[in-house]
Amino acid sequence: MGLAYGLYWSTVAPTVLWGDDGHLQLNAVQGLIQGSAGSHPLWVWVAHQFVRFLDGDIARRVNLVSSVFGAFTVGLLFALLRELGLERLASFLTVVAFAVSHTFWQHAVRAEVYTMTLAVMVLLAWLGVKWFHTSRPWILIAAAFVLGLGLSVHLLIGLYVPALLWLIGRRRPHWRTLLGAGAALGVGVAPLALLLARDAATLQLQGPEIVRWALFSFENYDFSGAMFDFSLRWLADDAFQWVFFLGFQFVGLAGVCGLVGLWRVWRRLDVTESVYVALLYAAVLVFAFAYRVGDRYVFYLPSYVPFAVWMAVGFEALLEWLQRQLAPSPRRWIAYGLVAAAVVWVPVGTYRLAPELVERGFSFRDGVHVPGPAGKTFFLWPAKNGYTDPREYAEEVLQATPPDAVLLVEPILASPVRFLQYVEGIRQDVEVRYCCWDIEQMLAERGTRPFAAAVMDINVYAADWLQDHAIQPLGNIWLIGDK
């Protein structure tokens, strides 16, 4: 756990970031806590405490939340593997592979909710196995509380419920234990329920509106249409993305061991535990496979926890083979060292090379680009130490904008701009609006105020309104005026 935190602390983003990261940074600084699905109130509350009690760049303090919970996740994963009876060295190699896996490492150095989400889910998975092995009532009651409270971090946590129900069905706890677990679940979920009641009263939500707010809303956007969107038309592409995302996490030896472990786990663990691990994977796969959003890759993250169990089984097989081939000697320890080096450096080298390959056109999906010198590496190279492009971009945009202007900004680019305005008080005379769906209405209402757009490519927004207005480049923005 200490090694993992050292990695994440040394590669954490030093300041404000793009998109959802910047949005969460702003919410954490302001302590904006709501009950909607996209608000993640427990994460915001914890991040706000980091803002209050740590020193340094205020946005970096928020980023460190991910680093801390990333390290916790790695430690809890090791505990889960050991509770399943997997050998210490195989478990260690597995958590090392998990710690440097692409999506997890990337989200352990940015202001995102997923390392805290994974920490809760791994804790929940460990509690389930621990209870199954011991039948101690307090463990199941603790698991129920963690589940209820964890929903305030992310609703993804509910995807582990089918596997937990499988264990409960096999062990059949006493009714008093179930009653205690139900009460603990209610206590855990109570803060979220109270937030939803407050939001409903404040926003005047009723009936189905409350349900949409609680389950499908992010900044008043309803993303329910993206869920469970199975399509035979896209089946091959969806399957390829699933396999590619998995392979990109565990490049080389770790991925091979995961596949070997999937084959061997039914002999290594008992049937109940093997089905439990399979259900942990399957529930996440079904959800993520049919969740059609731009950042779908991140919703596969919880499936990498059960895959790590299979990896550990595969690493056991590899280590057993090495022990048969090599008698106790320095050669065996050299072999162990080479295995550990491959687990770390093959994926890290791949991630370093990936941006160059994408730059040369090697990609299976449209890439998302952000401004700045390191724009091409932002999404593919997990480490973010020294990455200050968002702050520099926001400073340049606000400096170039005329006084008292209306500034349209792409949502991904708007986050650092708004952060500098609201947190650091820079250029508060500028009105920042998301670009560009209501632009014609805003043009009609702007009066004599200057009007500008900060977008990656103004031609992307070419429409009828562009034909009637003059577009003048000014640094990183475009002034929009009458012809």
pLDDT for the residue numbered 71: 98
Residue 19 CA to residue 255 CA, distance in Å, equals 31
pLDDT for the residue numbered 355: 79
CA distances 376 to 10, 21, 369, 379, Å, are 21, 18, 6, 7
CB 181 within 8 A of CB 19: no
pLDDT for the residue numbered 423: 95
Residue with tokens 């700045």: 372
What are the two backbone dihedrals, phi and then psi, of residue 28, each rounded to the nearest 5 degrees?
Answer: -65, -45
pLDDT for the residue numbered 1: 83
CB 62 within 8 A of CB 29: yes
Residue 217 CA to residue 37 CA, distance in Å, equals 5
What does the DSSP 8-state code read for residue 212? H
pLDDT for the residue numbered 461: 63
Residue ranges, the chain, pLDDT below 70: 359-368, 437-447, 458-467, 483
CB 335 within 8 A of CB 322: yes
pLDDT for the residue numbered 111: 97
CB 309 within 8 A of CB 262: no
What tokens does 413 get? Answer: 């680019």
The predicted-structure confidence for 51-83, as pLDDT tens digits, reads as follows 999 999 999 999 999 999 999 999 999 999 999
Residue 380 CA to residue 383 CA, distance in Å, equals 9
pLDDT for the residue numbered 460: 64
pLDDT for the residue numbered 424: 95
Residue 149 CA to residue 206 CA, distance in Å, equals 24
Residue 452 CA to residue 480 CA, distance in Å, equals 5
Report the DSSP beta bridge partners of residue 480. Answer: 471
Q: Which of 416, 401, 411 is nearest to 433 (CA)?
A: 411
Residue 440 CA to residue 437 CA, distance in Å, equals 8
pLDDT for the residue numbered 463: 57
pTM of the model: 0.94
